Amino acid sequence: MTNCVYIFLDEGGNFDFSSKGTPYFVLTSVTMKRPFSTYTQIDEYKHDCLEYGLNTEYFHCAEDNAHVRKKVFGILGNALNHIKIDSLVVEKRKTEPALHDEKQFYPKMLGYLLRHVMERENGTHIDEIIVITDTIPIKRKRESVEKAIKHILKEMLPEDCRFKILHHASKSHYGLQIADYCNWAIFRKWQTGDTEYYDRIKPALSSEFDIFRTGTRYYY
């Protein structure tokens, strides 16, 4: 087994840059290394759900019922020393119009988050960084967005950083489902002020960066 770092990514919010859209867009990464000890506990609980009568194909925080959600957060709460959480928060009204195109906005924000995480992890004598995102959310532009991500990451990330980025369905990795839960909690804090679940993962939160925090201009 090589010394690899895995970074799992999830996002919250939409790409509607108007008063009808979500006020915030949040990108969250969860960094971990093998062996993934949390996976065993999550897998055990998934089968508990099946035996209870739930049709649980995978965990998705926004869709899981309150009991399941609390249980999964409980599992994560006992494993926070095995993960690092980083989050980039965008107050969308402060985003300049040139970035409103998803092909510009999503790859650029992803680049800022990954640059921060990779610069930290790249100095820990690892062989490679493997980045896994959920399948690109912009279906009609998926191919062009994936190309833009590769181009922007090549420009923004350290030259000596060995990495690859993969786009997999969330149901294929418990790491992506963990990122989904963490991002949901952080997004909920910013959207509604509810910190109940945020407080449970906060000990593993390495960074939470409001990228336009000093901005004073609103574009809508």
165, part of any domain: yes
Residue linked to tokens 């959920």: 134
3-state secondary structure the chain: CCCEEEEEEEEECCCCCCCCCCCEEEEEEEEECCCCHHHHHHHHHHHHHHHHCCCCCCCCCCCCCHHHHHHHHHHHHCCHHHCEEEEEEEEHHHCCHHHCCHHHHHHHHHHHHHHHHHHHHCCCCCCEEEEEEECCCCHHHHHHHHHHHHHHHHHHCCCCCCEEEEEECHHHCHHHHHHHHHHHHHHHHHHHCCCCCHHHHHHHEEEEEECCCCCCCCCC
Give the pLDDT of residue 34: 93
Instruction: Specify the number of domains making up the chain.
Output: 1
Q: Is residue 124 part of a domain?
A: yes
215 within domain boundaries: no
Q: How many CA atoms lie within 13 A of 82 on its CB side?
A: 14
Taking the C-alpha atoms of residue 106 and residue 84, their distance in angstroms, rounded to an integer, is: 22
The CATH code of the domain that includes 183 is: 3.30.420.10
Residue 164's pLDDT is what?
Answer: 86
17 occurs within a structural domain: yes
pLDDT given for residue 156 in this prediction: 75
pLDDT in tens, 157-199: 777 778 888 889 999 999 999 999 999 999 999 999 999 999 9
Retrieve residue 68's tokens: 């399941």
Residue 91 lies in a domain: yes
* One-letter amino acid of 161: C
The answer to the question of residue 195 being in a domain is yes
pLDDT at 136: 67
Alpha carbons 68 and 1: distance in angstroms, whole number: 33
Q: What domain range is 110 assigned to?
A: 4-210
What residues of the chain score a pLDDT lower than 70? Answer: 1, 124, 136-142, 144-145
Q: What is the pLDDT of residue 128?
A: 86
The predicted structure's pLDDT at residue 207: 98
Predicted pLDDT of residue 165: 87
166 occurs within a structural domain: yes
Amino acid 1: pLDDT: 63
Residue 218 within any structural domain of the chain: no
Which pLDDT score, from 0 to 100, does residue 137 have? 59
| Cβ neighbours of residue 144 closer than 8 Å, sequence gap 6 or more | 103
pTM score: 0.92
Closest Cα to residue 183, out of 17, 20, 22, 5? 22
